[in-house]
Structure 1
Amino acid sequence: MKIFSASQIRACDAYTIHASGTSSADLMERAANACVKWINEHLPQDSVFIVLCGTGNNGGDGLAITRLLHQQGYGAKAFLLQMNSELSADCQLNLDRLKAIDSSLLQTLQPDTYITDIAPHIVILDAILGTGLNRAPEGWVANFISHINDTPNKKIAIDIPSGMPADVIPEDGAQVLEVNDTLSFQFQKRSFLHPETGSLAGNIRILDIGLHETFIESTHSSYQITDTALIKEIYKPRKPFTHKGTYGTAYIAGGSYGMMGAVTLAAKAAYRAGAGKVTALIPECGYNILQTIVPEAMCMVKGEKHINRISDWKGMQSIAVGPGLGTKPETIRAFGDLLDVCKQPLLLDADALNILAEQPELLNKLPTHSILTPHPKEFNKLFGETGNSMQRLELARTQAMKYNIHIVLKDRFTAVISPEGECRYNMTGNAGMATGGSGDVLTGVIAGLLAQGYEPYEAATLGVYVHGLAGDYAAVESSQEAMLAGDIISHLGNAFTHIKTTATQELF
């Protein structure tokens, strides 16, 4: 699913109106009907609504919804905030339509007027400000949003919460209406996918309002959602006449004294992700540990407590470095030596990233199409801090293009970024995966996919999706609170089974 900017969405609306021979008012009616349909399916029939409307097209949506709710027997009343002296054409049209049914269904609020004593059972629908927002709310409108935020009522945003830009993170202190659900028309918005604003938008419900497929298919966006349709394109089912050599060898260099758990998790995950063989390069202190926990893996030893040489990787289909590696001087030298001679894409995580941060000149030696998998703090150490998570993602796109690498920027909705600056947001996973070792499992999954011949961008995309999906299965069984990284590995089979059998169905 593509993610369009606010301007692209407006262009899509205009194209749909022109190509379909419909009117903007008809498209607004279609959107209002989609909202009321969702309300019918998810809220009790005796629900009572207050609909807060602005003077633009988002307000027009709210006025149309008020009329449709009333016609279906709900208790509903619209409050029009008189933010401007003139209404948009479609907002005025729906105001007239509502008045024609019953003028008591509407109350106009003059500046510095507020709604008080809202009964707690009333549902508040937010249609004050839409995607046309170009600056933070000010004065009365900002205070009004703050006042509504202080109420305990259930709140539902129409298309986007008021005060939330679609394409950027607002400045600190900007007023955004915090809602339980957002009924977004046709597309995700980027602001829903970042923690500063996504936490305010509640549950995102994408409503199909029939925007024209020709525009959607032909219009490029550098941002998209990793959905099941994309995963179906990427996934390669195993074939019957194959053997372990068909599925390649994943080479994983990591581990140090006291940190052997990381590389064992990665090795086990690589196998569970389908690698034919896994070879682990570890220090001598971890030999018995790894051979006991992952008996399937082949084991090579370099160094006593820390790896002092990274070798014997030639002929391996994937090379991962970092889990539990440590940053001892001899290990740093070994990693630098690897970068001097290796031209094959590398998968780098954890301490491999910390070494790059300490010696940024090594970034210029990264093989083309290598994959870096930083969490936000690791990314900040590598490339510098930014003002918010969306700026961090844009910096990641810049760095991916600069160094011709892939970056897996971990977050609630992990972003997989290509050397061309293309960005795929992942929607699987949950807060239970915020636990030690989860990142090591992801390294193993991606390494296992690379070993099987997946191209780096596809391996990273599928790996992040499968990793999150396995975490979702683990949360069902163990709860988010009790989940361990090993539980994610245990459910990789469920994730692959789901992909294989239901790839054509939308799960999320």
Structure 2
Amino acid sequence: MKIFTVENIRLADEYTIQNEPVSSIQLMERAAFNCAEWIFSNCKHHTKFAIFCGTGNNGGDGFAIARMLYLKGFDVDVFINKDNLKFSDNALINYKRLKEISRISLKDFHETSQYHFDEKTIVIDALFGTGLSRKPEGIFKKVIEILKTKSNPKISIDIPSGMFADQIHDENSIIFKADYTLTFQFWKKNFLHPETGSFAGKVIVLDINLSKEFIQNASTDNFVIDDEIVRNIFKVRQDFAHKGTYGKSIIVGGSYGKIGAVVLAVKSALKTGSGLTFALAPNCGYETLQTSTPEAMFINGGEKNIQQIIAQKDAVYVIGPGLGTEKDIEKALLEFFEDYHSPLILDADALNIISKSENYLKLIPKKSIITPHPKEFERLFGKTANSFERLDLAKTKAKELEIFIVLKDHHTQVVTPEGKVFYNITGNSGLAKGGSGDILTGIITSLLAQKYTEEEAAILGVWLHGKAADFAAEKYSKEAMQPTNVIDEIGNVFLYLNKKATTQL
């Protein structure tokens, strides 16, 4: 799914209105209808809605939603700023339609503090939409501050009021904090960054049938990894294949006390379908690896840590899980780079070694994939003020080094050398445990060995990792799930993918 800027969304609206054709008020009605239907289907335990409407088109959506919810049998109170009734054209139309229903109470914003928000009431925010250009002030700021103190379920329409769609807000901004955001057609960039996304709650993207022709032809460098992207990447396993068909994966890592990292990476590579899988690890991990993953073969890389990494030109390498950063390990990695020039995956301690010198960065083979978490990224490329600046720096470095950067976060970003960004929306906070990153590197390595392109392996890898984590959370909870549970669910993700693929035939 493409992520559009506010300007591109406006152009998509205009193109749809001109070419469907549909009037702007009809398009607003379509958006409001989808919101009302979602609310009706998901909020049946609540009987009352307090809807806060601004003067722009977001307020017009709110007026239309209020009317539709009332007609479905809910009690509805609508709050407006009675000191300013200068509505946009479409908001005015829906405001007049609302006033014709005498049973819907129109209240002033100043009444908010005295209003009885009982346990059956849901708050709906339709104050400001994506056109907001400055932070809320005056009565709007006061209303948002009051609503933030209420424990009632909260829903924002299109975007939480006070949030910008494309840029980070300053630290003094006041933003409505929603439990759900019902947004139209596209994800907004700010839903996907930690500094801003927490205000949106769970994001529900509602299809309002904007022009498919416009969406297809409009250019953007930002995407959400959705089922369509994954379906276009995933390759069904062929019947007339053998182990050589699906490549050779070599997982390099481990040191005394950190063999578990290699075990997790090896297991996830095997589960993802690697044809031949090797663990290149120190001899102190031999028994653990051969016992825990008998399907994988062992290559002795040293006694208590890696002393030598033998380069095999027909294999895909991942280097880093549990590796350590001692001088002899650093020496082994640098010598490996002298002999191996194909794309590979670098993670964890391999990245920490490379961060010791700018010259080491230049040794990374072109088209390789690195998978840093924010602290590792900082050690590699320097500090940034926030995740937006970090992403901009990642785009610069991916282009400069001609590599792919998998920037791990709540919504992990795959950054390509061409400057494209793919945000992953699978996964959950149950992955915030040691070992989760080792699983991801094993998955990506296996996919790269199976002849997926570097871009495909990174995109499918982060999606698959997150999807397996979502399945694990459903079974065990985010708190109790373990990285090994995520590995166990990889098979169920492939069952899901294969079912989707055969359904398309």
Q: Same fold (TM over 0.5)?
A: yes
- How far off its partner does 1:37 sit? 1.1
- How far off its partner does 1:436 sit? 1.3
| 1:103-135 deviation per Cα after TM superposition (whole angstroms, max 9, x unaligned) | 9632344xx774423322321110001100112
| 2:302 is the counterpart of 1:309 | no
Question: Which residue in the other structure is 1:77 paired with?
Answer: 77
Residue 113 to residue 480, structure 1, CA distance change in 2 (3 Å): closer
Counterpart residue identity of residue 171, structure 1: D
State which drifts further: 438-447 or 394-403: 394-403
Structure 1 length as normaliser, TM-score?
Answer: 0.95
Counterpart residue identity of residue 131, structure 2: G
* Contact 1:278 1:297 (C-alpha < 8 Å) held by counterparts: yes
5 Å-filtered alignment, 1:161-200, equals: 161-200=160-199
Q: 2:339, 2:45 → 1: CA distance?
A: 68
* Contact 2:159 2:183 (C-alpha < 8 Å) held by counterparts: yes
Question: Which residue in the other structure is 1:351 paired with?
Answer: 349
5 Å-filtered alignment, 1:306-345, equals: 306-316=305-315, 318-345=316-343
Question: Which residue in the other structure is 1:441 paired with?
Answer: 439
Q: 1:398, 1:82 → 2: CA distance?
A: 49
5 Å-filtered alignment, 1:215-254, equals: 215-254=214-253
5 Å-filtered alignment, 1:144-163, equals: 144-163=143-162
Q: 2:291, 2:156 → 1: CA distance?
A: 53
Residue 443 to residue 46, structure 1, CA distance change in 2 (3 Å): closer
| 1:453-480 deviation per Cα after TM superposition (whole angstroms, max 9, x unaligned) | 1111101111111111111222222222
* Contact 2:236 2:501 (C-alpha < 8 Å) held by counterparts: no
The 3-state SS of whatever aligns with 2:355 is helix
Question: Which residue in the other structure is 2:459 paired with?
Answer: 461
Question: Which residue in the other structure is 1:16 paired with?
Answer: 16
Identity of paired residues, percent? 46
- How far off its partner does 1:19 sit? 0.7
- How far off its partner does 1:85 sit? 6.3
Residue 83 to residue 182, structure 1, CA distance change in 2 (3 Å): farther
The 3-state SS of whatever aligns with 2:427 is coil
Q: 2:16, 2:344 → 1: CA distance?
A: 45
* Contact 1:98 1:105 (C-alpha < 8 Å) held by counterparts: no
5 Å-filtered alignment, 1:425-436, equals: 425-436=423-434
Question: Which residue in the other structure is 1:62 paired with?
Answer: 62
The 3-state SS of whatever aligns with 1:50 is strand
State which drifts further: 490-499 or 36-45: 36-45
- How far off its partner does 1:31 sit? 1.0
Q: 2:111, 2:423 → 1: CA distance?
A: 41
Q: 1:114, 1:42 → 2: CA distance?
A: 25
* Contact 1:228 1:503 (C-alpha < 8 Å) held by counterparts: no
| 2:402 is the counterpart of 1:404 | yes
| 1:384-428 deviation per Cα after TM superposition (whole angstroms, max 9, x unaligned) | 222222222222122111111101111111111111111111121
Q: 1:33, 1:467 → 2: CA distance?
A: 35
Question: Which residue in the other structure is 1:471 paired with?
Answer: 469
Question: Which residue in the other structure is 2:366 paired with?
Answer: 368
Residue 357 to residue 81, structure 1, CA distance change in 2 (3 Å): farther
Question: Which residue in the other structure is 2:293 paired with?
Answer: 294
- How far off its partner does 1:503 sit? 4.7
The 3-state SS of whatever aligns with 1:157 is strand
Structure 2 gap ranges (5+): none
| 2:91 is the counterpart of 1:86 | no
The 3-state SS of whatever aligns with 2:116 is coil
- How far off its partner does 1:176 sit? 0.7
| 1:73-124 deviation per Cα after TM superposition (whole angstroms, max 9, x unaligned) | 3211221125856321111222222223339632344xx7744233223211
The 3-state SS of whatever aligns with 2:114 is coil
- How far off its partner does 1:293 sit? 1.6
Q: 1:188, 1:116 → 2: CA distance?
A: 35
Q: 1:26, 1:152 → 2: CA distance?
A: 34
* Contact 1:54 1:83 (C-alpha < 8 Å) held by counterparts: no
Q: 1:150, 1:504 → 2: CA distance?
A: 49
Q: 2:38, 2:317 → 1: CA distance?
A: 48
- How far off its partner does 1:8 sit? 1.0
State which drifts further: 222-231 or 344-353: 222-231
Question: Which residue in the other structure is 1:26 paired with?
Answer: 26
Question: Which residue in the other structure is 2:40 paired with?
Answer: 40
Q: 1:44, 1:492 → 2: CA distance?
A: 35
* Contact 1:54 1:82 (C-alpha < 8 Å) held by counterparts: no
1:387 to 385, 388, 392: 385
Q: 1:113, 1:391 → 2: CA distance?
A: 41
Q: 1:45, 1:14 → 2: CA distance?
A: 38
Runs of 4+ in 1 over 4 A off after TM superposition: 82-85, 503-506
- How far off its partner does 1:360 sit? 2.5
The 3-state SS of whatever aligns with 2:317 is strand
State which drifts further: 253-262 or 36-45: 36-45
| 1:436-465 deviation per Cα after TM superposition (whole angstroms, max 9, x unaligned) | 111111111111111111111101111111
* Contact 1:136 1:174 (C-alpha < 8 Å) held by counterparts: yes
Q: 2:210, 2:319 → 1: CA distance?
A: 45
Counterpart residue identity of residue 392, structure 2: E
| 1:15-67 deviation per Cα after TM superposition (whole angstroms, max 9, x unaligned) | 11111122111111111111111122112286111111111111111112222
Counterpart residue identity of residue 342, structure 1: Y
Question: Which residue in the other structure is 2:207 paired with?
Answer: 208
| 2:421 is the counterpart of 1:423 | yes
5 Å-filtered alignment, 1:112-131, equals: 114-120=112-118, 121-131=120-130
Q: 1:44, 1:254 → 2: CA distance?
A: 52
| 1:313-335 deviation per Cα after TM superposition (whole angstroms, max 9, x unaligned) | 2221x111101110000111111
| 1:225-277 deviation per Cα after TM superposition (whole angstroms, max 9, x unaligned) | 11111111111111111111111100111111111111111112111111111
Counterpart residue identity of residue 371, structure 1: I
- The number of residues matched between the two structures is 503
Q: 1:244, 1:476 → 2: CA distance?
A: 33
Counterpart residue identity of residue 415, structure 1: Q
The 3-state SS of whatever aligns with 1:279 is strand
Q: 2:471, 2:35 → 1: CA distance?
A: 30
The 3-state SS of whatever aligns with 2:100 is helix
Counterpart residue identity of residue 347, structure 1: I
Q: 1:50, 1:138 → 2: CA distance?
A: 21
Q: 1:243, 1:83 → 2: CA distance?
A: 74
* Contact 1:223 1:423 (C-alpha < 8 Å) held by counterparts: yes
Q: 1:45, 1:438 → 2: CA distance?
A: 37
Q: 2:141, 2:108 → 1: CA distance?
A: 17
